[in-house]
Amino acid sequence: QERSISTDYIIKAYKESYDIDVASLFGGAEEIHVYRCAQSGFRFYAPGSVAGDSDFYAQLQRFPWYYMDWKWEHDVVKDTLQSGDRLLEIGCAEGAFISRLDTSIESVGLELNRNAALAGQDAGLDIRTEAIQDHAIMKPNYYDVVCSYQVMEHVTDVRGIVAASVQALKPGGRLIISVPNNDSFIKYSPDSILNMPPHHMNLWDEASLKGLQDHFDMELVGFELEPLQPYHYPVVISNF
């Protein structure tokens, strides 16, 4: 165990900052804890039962900054795609990424936030309210690319999701994961509530992300760090 955090602090901060009541998600627990895996260095919050539900994310969706239409990593991945590729995006929100892909690419999105999924479906996108664990059973060895952007920090079943992602890929396919780097400027804001449950359940860094290849049938072929973006400036400045 690395750290303990009062749930009262988190509950009050969410109410004051975002007018969201998260008390029920903690089930009466007085503290949550950060643990570090002795083998991989991967850090995660416990208990896992305090993760946000669909209603929690629907409330965050009210803020225009929550679902960004375009991200740096979208361009990085888009430039690697080829005509005829089959792509699956896990946690696609309203489909901002897959909506911009060439029609020659078969694009499917998975999104458990029903409000976001419905918005994408209304725009004509193939978005399904399915978990990757279920989707992979129906579509094994099917996709050339399985990707997720700012999703894996929110989940509790990391092993199950990564295993299902590999199952859904063709042999030689690419699994692309983008997560916040907790060795970046984020580490100077240890009390940021958006980096805690019920929002974030995992604290990834370069070592733990690269370490996935030691636990799954995959090989690391590339790793990139996002340059500092203008929307990061307020957070960086607030720490100095």
Query: Average model confidence (pLDDT) for the chain?
Result: 93
Cα dist. 25→7, 21, 59, 116, 129 in Å?
Answer: 10, 9, 14, 21, 22
Cβ atoms of 69 and 95 within 8 Å: the answer is no
For residues 25 and 3, what is the distance between their CA atoms, to the nearest angstrom?
Answer: 20
What local confidence, expressed as pLDDT, does residue 240 receive? 63
Beta sheet of 3-6, edge-to-edge order: 3-6, 31-36, 43-46, 202-203
The residues pairing with 137 across neighbouring beta strands, listed in sequence order, are: none
Least confident span in 32-46, 180-194, 221-235: 221-235
Residue 233 neighbours by CB under 8 Å, 6+ apart: none
Residue 160 neighbours by CB under 8 Å, 6+ apart: 133
Cβ atoms of 60 and 66 within 8 Å: the answer is yes
What local confidence, expressed as pLDDT, does residue 236 receive? 75
Interstrand relation of 127-128 and 31-36 (parallel, antiparallel or unpaired):
unpaired
Q: 89-130: per-residue pLDDT in tens?
A: 999 999 999 999 999 999 999 998 888 899 999 999 999 999
For residues 187 and 154, what is the distance between their CA atoms, to the nearest angstrom?
Answer: 17
Residue 239 pLDDT class (50, 70, 90 cuts): low
Cβ atoms of 2 and 43 within 8 Å: the answer is yes
Q: 131-162: per-residue pLDDT in tens?
A: 999 999 999 999 999 999 999 999 999 999 99
What local confidence, expressed as pLDDT, does residue 229 receive? 81
Q: 210-234: per-residue pLDDT in tens?
A: 999 999 999 999 999 998 887 777 7
For residues 179 and 190, what is the distance between their CA atoms, to the nearest angstrom?
Answer: 17
pTM above 0.95?
no
**Percent of the chain predicted with pLDDT > 90:** 80
Q: 17-39: per-residue pLDDT in tens?
A: 999 999 999 999 999 999 999 88
